[in-house]
Amino acid sequence: MKTALDIEEKELIEFYESDKWISISTPELINKYKKIARNTLKQKKVINVEISSEDFNAIQNFAVKKGSSYQELAANVLHNYAIGNFKEEVI
């Protein structure tokens, strides 16, 4: 499905394809923006998840047994899933 481009978008594409773009970046500027991007990815985010009371109680009890909070346990589980340490099972 193609989306129709407006006049401004067509002009930008035409200008870009004409090879008239001039880079104003410097190694210092590139490093500055790389640092900003890395720091943005490191920032903690807050999520809200709705689960049953039974699941919450089970997670909370498990966390107590492990000596951590349920928030730390949940964050750890999600992190391990995100980096591929947990695999989905096909049911």
Distance CA 20, CA 46 (A): 43
Find the radius of gyration of the CA atoms of the chain.
24
Average pLDDT, integer, range 71-84: 90
Burial 57-85 (b: 16+ CB within 10 A, else e): eebeeebeeeeeebeebbeeeeeeeeeee
Share of the chain above pLDDT 90, in %: 42
pLDDT at 22 over 60: yes
Distance CA 91, CA 75 (A): 25
pLDDT at res. 1: 57
Distance CA 14, CA 64 (A): 62
3-class SS at 84?
coil
Where does the pLDDT of residue 56 fall: very low under 50, low under 70, confident under 90, or very high at 90 and above?
Answer: very high
Whether the full predicted model's pTM is greater than 0.75, yes or no, is no
